[in-house]
Amino acid sequence: MTRPSQKEITAHLNDSSEFDYQLRVSPRARFVRLYVSPQRGLEVVVPRRFDCRALPDVLSQKSAWIRRALERVQAQRDTLLSAPAWQLPEHIHFRAVDVEWTLVARLAPGLRLSASTPAPGEIELSGPIESEALGRAVLGRFLVMQAETHLPPLLDALSREIGLAYTRVAIRRQRSRWGSCSAQGAISLNAALLFLPAHLTRYVLVHELCHTVHLNHSKRYWSLVARHFPHFRAAEIEMRRARDYVPRWATAHDAIGPLA
């Protein structure tokens, strides 16, 4: 086995593969993972001590997915280049729980952008509303707060419904995952799940709860998923474009990755 050097870890590589990619060694990785983002292009994450001579074969096997993902991020780049100047949204729709908020923006002097909820279903931002950085930060915190309000009860109810227990749940804004489950049964959920249609959010919750029994993607794991979500194959296909439901202001990182 050969271990990549630090130079290989940080460099953009171009070997016998048809794709340019960036290689990263992760001590936590147990197998090869592929990610595609507008910022990094194709990123290949490999476990420590992985034999990099096998990478061209791995990329060849996944070439169809890589091409589709690269085409998507190129479309994202084109959209960003043609996108209008920063503007706060007028409405925020959390499809997963069918909750809609109306946003009122008020320009006010000062360097601080504040948020309040003067009435049910209404969020008011006051301050330098033309600042994209401040707007994204404030709305990002609002998103996490809403996710902490809505997602844990959904997970708890589903856990009791299908009889799969977990130890705890955390809400985050992951770069590349909709959710994850640890060996201790701790589940982490992406706050952006609120933007997905209810059936896709439910699928992600089922996906992670099933990992409390099988911490892998074995045949037994998928059999368990099928028991609790019979149409999981259709959901998996829909999840490939699930990021399209997430508004631009809510994207912490525009990355494409699999469920874990």
**pLDDT digits over 88-104, tens only?**
999 999 999 999 999 99
Query: Distance (Å, rounded) from C-alpha 77 to C-alpha 35?
Result: 16
| Percent residues over pLDDT 70 in the chain | 86
Q: How many CB atoms are closer than 10 A to CB 114?
A: 13
Q: β-pairing, 33-37 with 41-47?
A: antiparallel
Terminal-residue alpha carbon distance, the chain: 26
**Helix (H, G, I), strand (E, B), or coil: what is residue 158?**
helix
The answer to whether the beta carbons of residues 20 and 13 sit under 8 Å apart is yes
Query: Distance (Å, rounded) from C-alpha 143 to C-alpha 242?
Result: 17
pTM of the full predicted structure? 0.69
pLDDT at 51: 85
Q: Hey, what amino acid is at 230?
A: P
* pLDDT bracket for residue 5 (50, 70, 90): very low
Protein fold of 91-250: Zincin-like (3.30.2010)
What mean pLDDT comes out for the span 179-190? 96
Residues 131-176: tens digit of each pLDDT = 999 999 999 999 999 999 999 999 999 999 999 999 999 999 987 8
Classify the phi-psi angles of 153: left when phi > 0, otherwise alpha if psi is within -120 to 50, otherwise beta. alpha
Domain boundary assignment for the chain: 6-82, 91-250
Sheet containing 179-181: give its strands across: 168-172, 186-190, 179-181
Lowest mean pLDDT: which of 11-15, 150-154, 168-172, 202-206? 11-15
Measured CA angle at 237 (ends 236, 242), to 5 deg? 85
Residues 63-85: tens digit of each pLDDT = 888 888 888 878 767 765 665 67
Residues written for the chain: 260
What mean pLDDT comes out for the span 114-142? 93
Q: Hey, what amino acid is at 170?
A: A
